[in-house]
């Protein structure tokens, strides 16, 4: 126990003394989470569109006037279809609308009327948004009410505010990356300095050394998560806390040990901090992509959906969402605890065995 405490305290002391690392970590956990939560928008804004109006009609103007800020920049007028097409090629605009000369005439007479729409499909969301808007505008022109009305009830996130979900996803992704890097470098730094051999020769059980070093990083990461949760999530973004905070802390600690298991594996195969960085990025990508943090799991390929059960982040994200947004009772969270506990035990076991072989 004394050895365990000695090692944990030493690692925390060394962490606090590496000012560059402390600064980087604080930046990511506080500033980066804030920036991502605040500024990254899934909804398009300021989409640039252009038009050619051969009809020169009030109706065309009426349609165009409905494409306004913040979604669209004021539409740019072009003289000919050729110029419009070139503008799309040169990426000056993403969508172009063409009104034929007989546009208004045909419409008022009730004939089959068309608007040509050119879309740059490489900017998929923006062009789809334009299409969507145009359809709505045209529908509203007809002044007919649709036969079925949709009555929408938004649950859990009443304003359908991405600003509540984005910072959480970003925090959890950062936690994954730093979890692997910190828990691996705490071993690899000793390899680099040559103190690893001396550590191995102290009469301390290898299990204690490994567990103490890992725990020191789990403690650091746990505190960082709590600080970020307090300041960024609850403070700035005003996330709800509908469930038990203790359950949130429990999930976090379980998750950190699972990630530390991956860190142990990385530490066993790396000899320099450089290799740790490479391995971490390499392993982190699938963990995050398969977790459902940035893409919903149900829209993945079926095989990938099965694979996503292997990502500890999946259980963590779903569990945390349940606690914060849905207010699931702690007892009903057992599935997430069990899933993450199992994955965590496996990952930690593999990592421990791999690095333990060096003893």
Partner 1 sequence: MKLEVKNLTVKYKNKTAVKGVSFGAASKEIIGLIGADGAGKSSLLHAIAGVLKFEGEILFDRYRYTSPKEAEPIKADLALMPQGLGLVLYDDLSVKEHLQFFRRIRNIPEDPEYEERLLKMAGLYRFQNRLAKNLSGGMKQKLSLICTLLHRPKLLILDEPTTGVDPLSRRELWEILEETRKSRNIIILYSTAYMQEAKKMDKILLFDSGEIIASGKENELLQLAKPYTYQQTECEECFCFDGRCYSIKPLDAARTEPSLEALFFINALKKGEREKPINIIPKQNEMPKIIVKSVGLTKRFGDFVADDHIDLELKRGEILGLLGANGAGKTTFIKMLLGLYPIDEGELWLLGKRIKSYQDRIELKNRIGYMSQNFALYKDMTVKENMEYFANLHSLSKKDATRKIEELSNGLGFREYLDSFPQSLPMGINQRFSLATAILHEPAVLFLDEPTSGVDTVARAGFWKLLHNLKKRWNISILITTHYMSEAEYCDRVVVLKEGKKIVDETPERLHQKFPGLDFEEIFINFYRSENASGSN
Residue ranges in contact with partner 1 by CB under 8 A: 2-3, 6-7, 10, 13-14, 17-18, 193-195, 197-205, 359
Task: Count the neighbouring beta carbons within 10 Å of the beta carbon of residue 43.
Answer: 9
Minimum Å distance from CB 168 to partner 1? 34
CB of 197 to partner 1, least distance (A): 5
Tell the smallest beta-carbon distance from residue 215 to partner 1 (Å). 16
- Asked if residue 224 lies in contact with residue 143, where contact means CB atoms within 8 angstroms, the answer is no
Q: Which is nearer to partner 1, 3 or 342 (CB)?
A: 3
On whether the CB atoms of residues 313 and 291 are closer than 8 A, the answer is yes
How many angstroms separate the CA atoms of 277 and 174, rounded?
14
- In terms of CB distance, is 77 or 198 closer to partner 1? 198
| Least spacing, CB of residue 195 vs partner 1, in Å | 5
Question: Which residues are registered as beta bridge partners of 52?
Answer: 78, 98
Sheet containing strand 116-119, strands side by side? 76-78, 49-53, 95-99, 116-119
Tokens of 245: 């905070």
At its nearest, how many Å lie between partner 1 and the CB of residue 202?
Answer: 4
Residue number, 53 or 190, with CB nearest to partner 1: 190
- Closer CB to partner 1, residue 196 or residue 234? 196
Looking at beta carbons only, is 13 or 82 nearer to partner 1?
A: 13
Helix (H) / strand (E) containing 341? helix 334-356
Collapse the DSSP code of 95 into the 3-class scheme (helix H, G, I; strand E, B; otherwise coil) and give the result.
strand
CB of 273 to partner 1, least distance (A): 14
> Who's near 107: CB < 8 A, 6+ residues apart?
59, 113
> In 9-152, at which residue ranges do the beta strands (DSSP E only) sit?
49-53, 76-78, 95-99, 116-119
| CB closer to partner 1 out of 122 and 193 | 193
Least distance between partner 1 and beta carbon 10 (Å): 6
Residue 64 C-beta-side C-alpha neighbours within 13 Å: 22
Closest CA to 94 of 72, 61, 65: 72
Nearer to partner 1, 210 or 290 (CB): 210
């Amino acid at each position: 126990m004394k050895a365990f405490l000695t090692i944990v305290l030493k690692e925390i002391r060394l962490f606090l003394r590496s000012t560059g690392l402390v600064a980087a970590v604080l930046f990511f956990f506080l500033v980066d989470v804030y920036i991502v939560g605040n500024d990254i928008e899934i909804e398009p804004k300021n989409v640039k569109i252009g038009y050619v109006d051969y009809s020169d009609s009030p109706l065309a103007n009426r349609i165009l006037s409905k494409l306004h800020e913040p979604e669209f920049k004021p539409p740019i007028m072009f003289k000919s279809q050729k110029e419009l097409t070139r503008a799309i090629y040169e990426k000056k605009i993403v969508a172009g609308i063409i009104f034929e000369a007989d546009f208004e005439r045909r419409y008022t007479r009730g004939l089959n009327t068309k608007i040509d729409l050119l879309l740059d499909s490489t900017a998929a969301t923006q062009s789809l948004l334009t299409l969507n808007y145009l359809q709505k505008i045209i529908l509203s022109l007809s002044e007919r009410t649709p036969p079925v009305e949709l009555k929408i009830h938004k649950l859990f996130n009443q304003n359908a505010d991405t600003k509540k979900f984005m910072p959480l996803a970003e925090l959890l992704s950062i936690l994954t990356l730093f979890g692997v890097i910190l828990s691996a470098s705490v071993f690899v730094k000793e390899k680099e300095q040559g103190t690893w051999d001396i550590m191995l020769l102290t009469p301390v059980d290898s299990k204690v050394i490994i567990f103490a070093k890992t725990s020191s990083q789990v403690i650091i990461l746990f505190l960082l998560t709590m600080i970020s949760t307090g300041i960024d999530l609850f403070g700035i973004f005003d996330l709800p806390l509908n469930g038990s905070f203790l359950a949130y802390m429990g999930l976090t600690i379980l998750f950190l040990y699972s990630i530390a298991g991956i860190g142990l594996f990385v530490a066993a195969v790396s000899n320099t901090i450089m290799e740790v960085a490479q391995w971490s990025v390499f392993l982190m990508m699938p963990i995050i992509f398969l977790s459902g943090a940035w893409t919903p799991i149900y829209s993945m390929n079926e095989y990938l959906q099965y694979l996503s059960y292997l990502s500890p982040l999946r259980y963590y994200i779903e569990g945390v969402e349940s606690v914060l947004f849905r207010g699931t009772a702690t007892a009903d969270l057992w599935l997430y605890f069990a899933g993450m506990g199992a994955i965590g035990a496996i990952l930690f076991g593999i990592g421990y065995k791999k690095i333990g072989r060096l003893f």
